[in-house]
Amino acid sequence: MTIPEETPDRSRRRDPSSPDKIPVMAQRTYSFIRLGVVAVIVVLAVSLAKQYAAADCLQGSISAYYYLPVRSVFVGALVALGFALIALWGKTPYEDGFLNLAGMLAPVVAFVPTGEARKCGLTDADGEPVRTQDEKEAVIAASHDAVANNMFAYLLVIGIVLAVVLVVGIFAHRRQRDWLVEQPWAFWLPWAGAVVLWVSGTLLFSRHDVWFYDNAHKWSAVFLFVFILCAIVAIGVDKWQGNGSTHDIPSRRWAVAYWILAGVMVVGAVAIFLGVEHGHRIFWVEAWMIGWLAVFWTLQTWDRWGEGAPRTKAEVAAQDGAPAL
């Protein structure tokens, strides 16, 4: 089936030679943050491959490598990914909101290790291999102190940030700032979703620590990928319709590409979960999703190369010489 492609309206594109062109430094920063996400995923893959070659042991999940020398790369990669998902501005409120929520969960996946590990290849604090079951369980239990420290700091800072965003939003509303007045729900709805996540995590962490140690990693990882998939679908919808606030031109082919990508991620994950033996199914599901996340990020970087952050309606109207609605 041939997907109809709209004839591009060149007058609606940002002219690189116009006075309102993207500052070179801003465009370069935006583009290289995006490329950096792919590089971080590649670094994680190389680190996992090296550890597998050294130990000749495949853990039950990528997350279980937290207990092995991969830990620093694993934690650093997820924190960097979370930062990028939050910092990069989505073109629509839906994309931006879903990516922000995914970005909040990425550090939780890093800071709270899975308790479901094959426990092969583990080493003690001195780097010596541990062999008995009691020694292996002790290595897992020892991570609880790090979880308590890291999650306390993370939840505290997130709470402060959400409070600051609330104050900024109130002042912006009173002063009728364009970026808030245009679509106030696009600011407050993602903020409310972030507050729900923060409150839920804080209550579970402070009152149900045993449950938190055993389950926070698993559920944070699940919703991380769910939010990313929702963002990809939302990006496809925006591509199909075109984004009026930034004068993007509808692109049916790009929309279908994003939707196919989301479908491949879901179908493949389900097939792996149902078809791979229990001991390694989570590893391959995680590898599948992370691999396709890198593909998505590369595809979107290509799609948006040179565009920079989306403009407000007022900025578009100023270029077109029309009053902002």
Inside any domain, residue 12: no
Summarised one tens digit per residue, pLDDT across range 194-231 is 999 999 999 999 888 888 888 888 899 999 999 999 99
List 129's β-bridge partners, or say none.
123
pTM over 0.85: no
Q: What is the mean pLDDT of residues 249-267?
A: 91
Inside any domain, residue 93: yes
How confident is the model at residue 39, as a pLDDT?
A: 94
Inside any domain, residue 100: yes
Q: pLDDT confidence of 293, banded at 50, 70, 90?
A: very high
Q: Does residue 32 register a pLDDT over 90? A: no
List 123's β-bridge partners, or say none.
129
Q: What is the mean pLDDT of residues 26-48?
A: 88
Inside any domain, residue 3: no
Inside any domain, residue 16: no
Inside any domain, residue 287: yes
Inside any domain, residue 31: yes
What distance in Å separates the CA atoms of residue 279 and residue 286, rounded to the nearest whole number? 13
Burial class (CB in 10 A: 0-12, 13-18, 19+), 296: buried
Q: Does residue 252 register a pLDDT over 70? A: yes
Which pairs with CB-CB distance under 8 Å and at least 24 residues apart come from 185-189? Answer: 185/93, 186/93, 186/96, 186/97, 189/93, 189/97
Q: What is the mean pLDDT of residues 248-267?
A: 89
Length reported for the chain: 325
How confident is the model at residue 23, as a pLDDT?
A: 64
How far CA 154 is from CA of 127, 196, 198, 307, in Å, comes to: 28, 15, 10, 32
End-to-end CA distance of the chain: 38
Q: pLDDT confidence of 9, banded at 50, 70, 90?
A: very low
Q: pLDDT confidence of 10, banded at 50, 70, 90?
A: very low
Which two structure tokens, joined as six digits, stand for 157? 């800072």
Residue percentage of the chain with pLDDT more than 90: 39
Domain residues for the domain of 277 are 22-320
Question: What is the count of structural domains for the chain?
Answer: 1
Helix or strand holding residue 123 (H, E): none
Q: What is the mean pLDDT of residues 220-247?
A: 85
What distance in Å separates the CA atoms of residue 286 and residue 296, rounded to the nearest whole number? 15
Q: Does residue 4 register a pLDDT over 70? A: no
Q: Does residue 250 register a pLDDT over 80? A: no
Q: Is 129 helix (H, G, I), strand (E, B) or coil?
A: strand
Amino acid in position 137: E
Mean pLDDT of the residues in the chain: 80
How confident is the model at residue 30, as a pLDDT?
A: 79
If one counts every other C-beta atom within 10 angstroms of the C-beta of residue 251, the result is 20
Which two structure tokens, joined as six digits, stand for 242? 């075109």
How confident is the model at residue 11, as a pLDDT?
A: 37
Q: pLDDT confidence of 103, banded at 50, 70, 90?
A: very high
How far CA 178 is from CA of 19, 90, 187, 247, in Å, comes to: 21, 17, 12, 17
